[in-house]
């Protein structure tokens, strides 16, 4: 790396669970340790005498899932109330423009909010390995298999070039700039 202009643009910290596993996944990896998209996931088991045998495989599949949909939130509770109110207002105005009754409008809004949660909340999403399960059900099944409550403590998704945007008005030779 001698002579290279390398700058750290962002950093992340995740702590390992006291009892559980950390899983990683590299997507579009041309060789070991190099990839375009990476995922990191921490699974914690509540009871320290529970077996961890099933966790590495499920953790690996879950980390692969984390890379796919770009979920910003782990649970519904992580979505801010301001964001939800804003989304609800937008959906309400869209549904009211259909001219349907207030009761029908409410059902439309609730259905679209459910779809929104499935798109942005990891625990509400369909599992990419088995789409008959959502992540919450998968974790409940894993808890039964392990014999102790199991939860996703944290997750992280990183992509090469993430947070960069093209400069429209610049004629500079480097067309990328860090997004604010």
User: Which region among 3-12, 20-29, 104-113, 160-169 has the lowest average model confidence (pLDDT)?
Assistant: 160-169
At CA 165, angle to CA 28 and CA 158, rounded to 5? 35
What domain range includes position 84?
80-120
Same domain, 84 and 148: no
The arithmetic mean of pLDDT across residues 101-109, rounded, is 91
What is 92-157 written as a DSSP string?
A: HHHHHTTT--HHHHHHHHHHHHHHHHHHHBGGGSBPSS-TTSBHHHHHHHHHHHHTS-EEEEEEEE
More confident residue, 147 or 69: 147
Task: Give the model's pLDDT for residue 49.
Answer: 86
**Structural domain count, the chain:** 2
Task: Give the model's pLDDT for residue 126.
Answer: 94
Same domain, 19 and 63: yes
Task: Give the model's pLDDT for residue 179.
Answer: 35
Q: Does the residue 178 lie in any domain?
A: no
Q: Does the residue 157 lie in any domain?
A: yes
pTM of the model: 0.75
For residues 23 and 162, give the distance between their C-alpha atoms in angstroms, rounded to a whole number: 21
Place of tokens 């041309």: 30
Determine the longest span between alpha carbons in the chain, in angstroms.
68
Average pLDDT across the chain, whole number: 84
The arithmetic mean of pLDDT across residues 3-14, rounded, is 78
Return the beta strands (E) in 4-110 as ranges. 20-27, 37-45
Residue 38: φ, ψ to 5° = -130, 150
Tokens matching residue 45:
């088991």
Model confidence at 172: pLDDT above 80: no
Q: Does the residue 18 lie in any domain?
A: yes
More confident residue, 79 or 168: 79
Q: Does the residue 9 lie in any domain?
A: no
Place of tokens 């949909």: 69
For residues 108 and 59, give the distance between their C-alpha atoms in angstroms, rounded to a whole number: 35
More confident residue, 33 or 11: 11
Give 36's pLDDT tier (boundaries 50, 70, 90).
Answer: confident
**Which tens digits make up the pLDDT trace of 52-75?**
899 999 999 999 999 988 889 999
Rg (CA), the chain: 21
């Amino acid at each position: 790396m001698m002579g290279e202009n390398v700058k750290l643009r962002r950093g992340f910290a995740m702590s390992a669970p006291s009892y559980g596993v950390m899983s990683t996944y590299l997507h579009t990896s041309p060789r070991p340790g190099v990839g375009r998209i990476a995922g990191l996931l921490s699974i914690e088991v509540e009871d320290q005498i529970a077996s961890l045998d099933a966790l590495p495989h499920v953790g690996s599949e879950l980390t692969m899932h984390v890379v796919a949909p770009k979920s910003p939130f782990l649970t519904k509770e992580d979505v801010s109330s301001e964001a939800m109110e804003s989304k609800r207002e937008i959906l309400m105005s869209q549904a009211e423009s259909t001219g349907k009754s207030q009761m029908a409008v409410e059902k439309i809004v609730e259905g679209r909010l459910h779809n929104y949660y499935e798109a942005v909340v990891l625990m509400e999403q369909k599992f990419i390995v088995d789409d008959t399960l959502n992540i919450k059900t998968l974790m409940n099944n894993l808890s039964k298999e392990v014999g102790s409550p199991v939860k996703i403590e944290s997750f992280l998704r990183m992509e090469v070039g993430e947070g960069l945007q093209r400069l429209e008005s610049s004629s500079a030779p480097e067309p990328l700039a860090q997004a604010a």
